[in-house]
Amino acid sequence: MFFGTPYIFYMIIQPGQANIYALFLSALLVYILLELDLTAARSWVVPGFLLSVSFLTKVDLWPMAGLAALVFFEHLRSKKAGWRHLMWFGLSFMVLFAFKFGNDFLKFGHILSNELSVVNSSGFYFFTQLFSPFRGYFIYSPVFLFAMLAGLWVLLFRRGQPESFGTRGPLILWGMFFIIIIKLFIISFRFNWNGGTYGGRILLTEVPFFAVFLAVFLKGLRGWGLRVAFSVLCVMLIWNILKIAEFMTFLEPRNFISYVDFANGWAALHGLYAFILKNIGLAASIEKIGLLAFLLAVAAPFIYLLRRVRVRHAVAGFVFYCAAAYAAISVMNYVNNGRNAELLRGYVEAGEMVVIKPHLFTMEENIGSVNEQMEFYESIGDEKEVRKLMFLRESLFEHTDDEFRRARPSLF
């Protein structure tokens, strides 16, 4: 499932995304909430620390806060937790939270809200972003849709069977599902398109949730039901991989219509072949190892099913896998750091700069995503929406020019 999503691009081609860190921490927190005995007051230092890291590193971990809070208030309701638990949780949370405030103030002169300010009421594209044939979440990555349906099945038919998760299993299942729904709703207000490969990293933190839903769903099936589910899942994985290949190598369907487009697509595919087989050096070798690791990860759900691995053990394996992936990415970043510094120095010497936009998007990303939306609505003949997006694009240009004039003197 992990390989059949847009994240393969960000893990291999663009390593260093903060969302990769978020993936590891979210998997770790799910494992802790399943396994850790939280009756002792000091045990709440662990989830509190993980949540504070989300603010320190500015990664998308606010759903984790909701999940931990759900478990905490359940302990309060059942009188398994009291003020001492809250004290330890708060102390561990506020330590790194204070560092985040200090870091923001020293760098920017004020505190950044980050993920707390994701709502933009100027546009709402919830259903379009989910089901649009133009890079919609569930069309571009149908494994997500399959996992959501698996989550519904688990909640409707297995919520009274906690043996796969332990005593907190049903509570965590409900929390996982509704946090994902709320997050999908909120991010639909953002400027950018958020669909397909470009916006797939928005849901990176939820990959452990989707994996758990699929694990419980597949484990509960037998006979023909299991065969049908696996067949559908395999087809969706192939679809995902083709979409990722399309993005990484520009092998879009239109590239096979004319000779010129086909030649461009073939050249892009040849470039990927050269990257995998011909590149030498430490950096290329590390990236090849990473690519092989993701190919091997495809077999993980099948192995779990055949060996009847308990869900909690599967999550533990996923935590270890995320940790190894993050370590490999860190090495890639270290190896490539010199090259990145040279590129950055070239941009500064040329007097070029990137202006940060609302919601931490750059001008290029904002306007590029608006152009993509305009392309889609033009293809379906929705002129009203096209005019609305044209006005939005013009306002982005105007706002960016003002910010550029204010920021440029401070840099030179």
Distance CA(323)–CA(329), nearest Å, equals: 10
Distance CA(177)–CA(102), nearest Å, equals: 34
Print pLDDT tens along the chain (412 aa).
Answer: 555 454 555 555 554 456 666 667 777 777 777 666 667 777 777 777 777 766 565 555 555 666 666 676 666 666 666 777 778 877 877 777 677 677 667 666 666 655 444 444 445 556 666 666 555 667 667 777 788 888 788 777 765 554 555 555 666 677 777 777 776 766 555 544 444 444 455 666 677 777 777 777 777 777 888 788 888 887 877 776 666 555 555 445 544 455 555 555 555 555 555 555 555 555 555 556 655 665 566 566 566 666 666 666 766 777 777 777 667 666 666 666 656 556 555 544 544 444 444 444 445 555 666 776 777 677 667 788 888 878 777 776 665 445 444 443 333 3
Residue 148 lies in a domain: no
For residue 197, the number of C-alpha atoms closer than 13 Å in the C-beta half-sphere is: 19
Q: Which residues pair with 356 in a beta bridge?
A: 362
Residue 74 lies in a domain: no
Number of domains in the chain: 1
In three-state secondary structure terms, 2 is coil
Residue 390 lies in a domain: yes
Distance CA(117)–CA(301), nearest Å, equals: 36
Residue 379 lies in a domain: yes
Distance CA(171)–CA(160), nearest Å, equals: 10
**Residue of 138, 119, 122 whose CA lies nearest to 130:** 138
Residue 392 lies in a domain: yes
Q: Which residues pair with 362 in a beta bridge?
A: 356
163: DSSP letter:
G
Residue 391 lies in a domain: yes
Residue 158 lies in a domain: no
C-beta of residue 44 within 8 angstroms of C-beta of residue 72: yes
Distance CA(188)–CA(194), nearest Å, equals: 8
What residue numbers bound the domain in which 375 lies?
A: 353-412
Residue 371 lies in a domain: yes
State the CB neighbour count (10 A cutoff) for residue 262.
14
